[in-house]
Amino acid sequence: MPDFQYGVRKTIISVNIGGALIPVLFSLFLLLYSIPALEQNLTVAYLKVFVAFIVVTLVVHKFARPIKGLGIAVPFFIPPLTAALASAILFPIYVKTNPFIIAYVGGTLGTLVGADLLNLDKISEIGAPIVSIGGAGIFDGVYLTGITAIFLLWLIV
C-alpha cells in the first residue's frame, strides 16, 4: 500500500570533503603558490586559468542534468576532455604557461561550479533528502576531472 506524506520537504545540502573541499584547496594552492613560483607573467597565467574555468563551467553546465533521487549528472568524459582541450589551446598563447595547472584548476573548479553550484536551483527536482556538493563518493567527478584532464593533456601535448 502506497504511503503518502504531506508537508514541507527539506533537503540537506552538504559539502563533500573528497569531491569538493580537497580539490578546491589544492586548486587554491596551485593558484596562490605554484603559479607565482613557476610563471613569468602572472597576469597572463591567471587569465588563461580563468578562461579555461569559464569554458569548462559553461560546457559542464550545458550537459548537467538533474537525476531524480540521485543528484546532478554529467557525462563523465565531458569535463576532463573540455579542460584538457582548453588547456592545450590556451597554454602556448603569448607566453607559455604550465598547461597542467590550467587543466587541473579549470577542470575541477569549472566542474564544481558548472555542475553543482549553478544547479542549486534544481535541487527540488531531485527529490533526494541529502544533496552533496562535490558528489556522494570520495572520488567524485570533480576530483576525477582534474586527474583525468591532466592525463589527457599529457597524451595530447
Share of the chain above pLDDT 90, in %: 52
Cα distance between residue 70 and residue 85, in whole Å = 29
Q: In the 8-state DSSP scheme, what is residue 9? A: -
Looking at the DSSP bridge assignments, the partners of residue 131 are 13
Cα distance between residue 75 and residue 46, in whole Å = 28
136 phi/psi in degrees, rounded to 5: -85, -20
Query: Which residue bears the cell 597565467?
Result: 45
The answer to pTM > 0.85 is yes
Cα distance between residue 7 and residue 74, in whole Å = 31
Continuous segment of H or E residues that includes residue 92: none
3 state SS of 124: helix
Mean pLDDT over 34-58 rounds to 96
Angle subtended at Cα 87 by Cα 48 and Cα 157, rounded to the nearest 5 degrees: 135
Beta strand 65-67 with 71-73: parallel, antiparallel or unpaired?
antiparallel
pLDDT band at residue 3, thresholds of 50, 70 and 90?
low
Q: What is the pLDDT of residue 135?
A: 76
Q: What is the pLDDT of residues 86-121, one digit of tens each?
A: 999 999 998 889 999 999 999 999 999 999 999 988
Parse the chain into domains and list their residue ranges. Answer: 43-156
Looking at the DSSP bridge assignments, the partners of residue 130 are 12
